[in-house]
Chain A
């Protein structure tokens, strides 16, 4: 594999993003070991390094999680080699147990911990500011504002680390990590190192007596580190004899420069930001009358200035928030308020546009599984805009169930919504089942498997309490038998749906009938409509134990927890062991798509190849699950929705911890199949668009639009079409279409 960071052409310029620049800086510094767990926006650091590792003769790995990658890099440092570990900001929380004490043990070979923060949460669960982690851990921190700085700081961070014998935190933010720029590269440092571990170094053994000594040592190192930050090349004054001095860090500093006439202000760019270069800042303060601070997220510089008793124009006066990221627009507005720059007139964004949120891809295996999970509990629904009140459904139902003519004994009723609209109503299989609760004789029960209500006629006395309890009016009282009756969906194949001349009736599932704890990965998007399957997302591996906690608190019934294969390896395995040992009635669903999909397809321990492209022994998820004490394990193919629904229904009757492994490769990894198209049979029921929600299936109210290269079917409420350029050819929509209207497009391939 070729890599652009291996070029040996010092001082030339190449287009690099911040992550790639860190990777380049690391190889220029002569690293021997690199390790990381993928996490946006830090992923491309190790990805880039792994591609260069064989060429430049160093080792790179995707570790199973962030603390392991940190320990791997720390071990390399202890042996005298230079090493880098990279992670996203929340990855640092996972790694923190190691990092906090590494500050005490110190390092031998240069060790750089690269952390990418994500202001504005472009792809994260929080907005923590790693500069405060540096304060917390007492480790030096460099804060990069663009890719060039990222490269220069990485290279220099190794020198600083070896001077101080401390790990150095290098911080990027999303706009730096994923921003590309023309970057001048340097030359490769030729390090001849004796790689060995000093077995007598008591600083590696953090028993209390040694650790307290090392804490003193850390304080001494910090004094030296402050001297380095005071004189760092990354803390630069640009004195333009102005009355106003602007102090900034990160990308926000450059936004400020872009909206101001730079010559009219004096500038202090802070890059080596912990320990705080107080003397340098005080010197700068004496040259100006007003100090303005520009920094994203928390007011770290501002608080340090206040501690130095300096007057500061900061977030409050500028009306700049700690929440979200800065933009040139926001910075301009802030400076315009102070009269320091012009406000520019802008046009508002066009309003009333359909949003296009992130979505599971066409062919996504997670969508298929979630659809199946939502289909366990099904009921008949009616589109009132199509129903004409013909009562065919009532007649078909009454005849089919009781062989009587007329609709009186039907389990579905047509009622008027208003002067023009009708709707047919039957049992909605609601999770709370007030009918079952109301029955004093225990005649009604709700099926654990299907959610359907069944009537035990031997117990029913015809009191009709349940009839009154049902707010849908879906329960009928048979006046001959004095027994109640309710829809049973004809065993999942309702006669009313098939006979409706307007295709107004559809058998649909519901997503609100069970608790589904989620996790971190593509599959978190199952929270969004139309699937709305997932109800929690906290941290890596958190869903399993959250589900267990709910069970132990007594929520009742089986609680589901879904997570991906890589998240399972990362932090899910201890959670599963805990569920198994403590007997929580949790069904853990491992959505095994054989890859870390969300961050761009990095291998997992089940992928069978390493970061450097070597073959590896693929671990068996089944074996791991069995070995932690799970007896009930079901493996399904999520593309087979019918079998998956049956498997879930069976699991629902199993009491105790159990696991479903939903196994199929991410469709982006494999060659696309032949696309599907929608034929005239389409009943426009909306199942594929409003319930399944594949982005390749589009619906438009635009009756005369020519949707490019798509098959278009005219139907009453709009047009449904499959865009062949997006369709993955998975065929799941075809398998769930009640009208058999979706078929493979024949005679063409794209």
Chain B
């Protein structure tokens, strides 16, 4: 059993925290894990990717191009940017939110939301679109997008990590006063994939 996940999004969306919870949950189920991420330049707004690898024994923290089992996209442009990491017919869980870059160069035409979503759809048949930003908004907290996505990930077919392990990892990683709303968000994300 080997699972390689890429998390892609924009700085400030909670990518590091989410991939941490994912790894903690995998460890609770007895897996070896590695995680690679880059942070440092600027706190918010830049492209961020994190790699999480789960297996009996993992040596390299980086995933090879075209070998990731799944991409968890926090935003569609960054999801498209990470697509080359995905193996053929790999899985994409994507928040349909589009954060357009602000100081874009005039020489590159900005792709539309529809264009980006269809690039993803043409890349692999296994796409789960999650309207996580709107769901988060309805729950009254913009910052729980990541746990909605985690819920969606937890419900993917053949996910070897137990639901309980995800929830336990959340309870140790998240502040107590935010735990309830995050568990709610997790459930919403699960249902979006299960239905």
| Bound CA span A750–B27, Å | 34
Instruction: Tell whether, in the assembled complex, residue B44 and residue A362 are in contact, meaning their CB atoms are under 8 Å apart.
Output: yes
Among the 9-residue stretches A98-106, A203-211, A343-351, the one with 4 or more Cβ atoms under 8 Å from chain B is: A343-351
User: Are B42 and A255 in contact, with the CB atoms below 8 A?
Assistant: no
Answer whether residue A700 sits at the interface, using C-beta atoms and an 8 A cutoff. yes
What is the bound-complex CA distance between A178 and B41, given in angstroms? Answer: 13
Q: Mark B20-51, 1 if CB is under 8 A from A, else 0.
A: 10011001000111111111111111110000
A435 sits at the interface (CB 8 A):
no
- Docked-complex contact B84 and A356, CB < 8 angstroms: no
Cα distance A355–B109 in the bound complex, in angstroms = 11
For chain B residues 90-111, which have a beta carbon within 8 Å of chain A?
A: 96-105, 108-111
Determine whether the beta carbon of A708 is less than 8 Å from that of B133: yes
Within 8 Å of chain B (Cβ to Cβ): is A701?
A: yes
Are A708 and B134 within 8 A (Cβ)?
yes
Cβ contact within 8 Å between A180 and B35:
yes
Contacts of B24 in A (CB 8 A): 15
Contact with B43, one of A181, A254, A361 (Cβ below 8 angstroms): A361
Contact B23 A15 (CB under 8 A): yes
Q: A347-B84, A353-B111, A693-B103 are in contact. Are A258 and B33 (CB under 8 A)?
A: no
Is there contact, CB below 8 Å, between B109 and A15? no
On whether A175 and B103 interact (CB within 8 A), knowing A522-B43, A702-B113, the answer reads no
Contact of A181 among B34, B44, B103 (CB under 8 A): B34
* Tier of interface size on chain B: 35 or more
* Residue in A328, A344, A709 whose CB lies within 8 Å of B142: A709
Q: Is the CB of B34 within 8 A of A528?
A: no
How long is the Cα–Cα vector from A94 to B119 in the complex, in angstroms?
48
Query: Is the CB of A707 closer than 8 A to any CB of chain B?
Result: yes
Q: When A181-B33, A350-B84, A356-B47 are in contact, do A705 and B114 touch as well, CB less than 8 Å?
A: yes
Q: Is the CB of B46 within 8 A of A356?
A: yes
| A684 → chain B closest CB, angstroms | 15
Beyond A15-B27, A328-B63, A356-B46, whether A122 also contacts B40 by CB under 8 A is yes
- CB contact under 8 A between A702 and B112, given known A40-B40, A356-B47, A359-B44: yes
Report chain B residues within 8 Å CB of A361: 12, 42-45
**Cα distance A277–B102 in the bound complex, in angstroms:** 53
Judge whether B78 is part of the interface by a CB distance below 8 angstroms.
yes
Q: Is the CB of A359 within 8 A of B42?
A: yes
Given A178-B39, A349-B83, answer yes or no on A709-B110 (Cβ-Cβ < 8 Å): no
Residue A698 contacts which of B33, B62, B66, B99 (CB distance < 8 angstroms)? Answer: B99
A13 to B27, CA, bound (A): 9
Decide if A251 is an interface residue (CB 8 Å cutoff): yes
Selected contact of A179 from candidates B27, B32, B35, B67, CB within 8 Å: B35
Q: A668 contacts B40, CB within 8 Å?
A: no
Within 8 Å by CB of A693, from B43, B67, B102, lies B102
Report the separation of the CA atoms of residues A178 and B48 in the bound assembly, to the nearest whole angstrom.
13
Closest to A701 in B: B110
Alpha-carbon distance between A349 and B45 when the two chains are bound, in angstroms: 21
Once A354-B110, A700-B110 are accepted as A-B contacts, the answer to whether A522 and B42 lie under 8 Å apart by CB is yes
- B64 at interface, CB cutoff 8 A: yes
Q: Which single residue of chain A is at the shortest CB-CB distance from B113?
A: A705
- Chain A residues near B84 (CB-CB < 8 A): 346-350
A251-287: CB near B (< 8 Å → 1, else 0) gives 1001101110000000000000000000000000000
Hey, which chain A residues are within 8 Å of B109, CB to CB? Answer: 352, 701
By a CB distance below 8 angstroms, the chain A residues around B140 are: 750
Q: Is the CB of B33 within 8 A of A344?
A: no
Q: Is B34 in contact with A355, judged by CB distance below 8 angstroms?
A: no
In the assembled complex, the Cα of A47 lies from the Cα of B65 at a distance in Å of 33
Measured between C-beta atoms, what is the minimum distance from B115 to chain A in Å? 9
Number of A residues near B (Cβ < 8 Å) is 75
Also in contact, A258 and B59, with CB within 8 A (given A344-B67, A359-B103, A708-B133): yes
Residue contact B113 to A689, C-beta cutoff 8 Å: no
B168 within 8 A of partner (CB): no
Query: Which chain A residue lies CB-closest to B50?
Result: A180
How would residues 60 to 72 of chain B score, 1 for a CB under 8 Å from any chain A CB and 0 otherwise?
1111111100000
Contact (Cβ within 8 A) A347 B66: yes
Any chain B CB within 8 A of the CB of A146? yes
Which residues from B are CB-within-8-Å of A348? 84
Q: A356-B78, A698-B100, A700-B110 are contacts. A329–B61 as well, Cβ < 8 Å?
A: no
Q: Mark A124-151, 1 if CB is under 8 A from B, else 0.
A: 0000000000000000000000100000
Q: Given the complex of chains A and B, what is the CA–CA distance between A690 and B114 in angstroms?
A: 24
Could you say which of B31, B66, B77, B97 contacts A708, with CB atoms under 8 Å apart?
Answer: B97
Known A345-B66, A350-B119, A701-B109; contact A181-B61, beta-carbon cutoff 8 A: yes
Contact of A724 with B by CB under 8 A? yes
Shortest beta-carbon distance from A14 to chain B in Å: 8
Measured CB to CB, the nearest residue on chain A to B119 is A350
Chain A residue with Cβ nearest B140:
A750
Interface residue A75 (Cβ < 8 Å from any Cβ of B): no
| Bound CA span A708–B95, Å | 11
Q: Judging by beta carbons under 8 Å apart, are B102 and A699 in contact?
A: yes
Q: Does any Cβ of A come within 8 Å of B10's Cβ?
A: yes
B105/A355 in contact, CB under 8 A: yes
Query: A598–B33 Cα gap in the complex (Å)?
Result: 28
The answer to whether B77 touches A525, judged by C-beta atoms less than 8 angstroms apart, is no
A window 666-706: CB within 8 A of B: 668, 689-690, 693-702, 705-706
State whether the Cβ of B180 lies closer than 8 Å to any Cβ in chain A: no
In the complex, per-residue mask of A320-362: 1 if CB is within 8 Å of any chain B CB, else 0: 0000000111001000000000001111111011111111111
Residues on A with C-beta less than 8 A from B83 are 347, 349-350
A40–B40 Cα gap in the complex (Å)?
6
Subset of 25 A-B contacts with CB under 8 Å: A15-B20, A123-B40, A146-B61, A180-B23, A181-B35, A181-B58, A328-B63, A329-B64, A345-B66, A347-B66, A347-B83, A347-B84, A349-B81, A349-B83, A354-B100, A356-B47, A359-B45, A361-B12, A361-B43, A598-B40, A689-B102, A699-B102, A701-B109, A702-B113, A705-B113
Which B residues fall within an 8 A CB radius of A? 10-12, 20, 23-24, 27, 31-47, 58-67, 77-78, 80-81, 83-84, 86, 96-105, 108-114, 119, 133-134, 137, 140-143
Task: Name 6 extra pairs, CB < 8 A, besides A354-B111, A360-B42, A750-B137.
Answer: A182-B34, A347-B66, A361-B42, A598-B41, A702-B110, A723-B99
- Give 10 nearest A-B pairs by CB, closest first: A123-B40, A40-B40, A258-B60, A358-B42, A358-B46, A361-B44, A359-B45, A180-B35, A725-B142, A702-B112
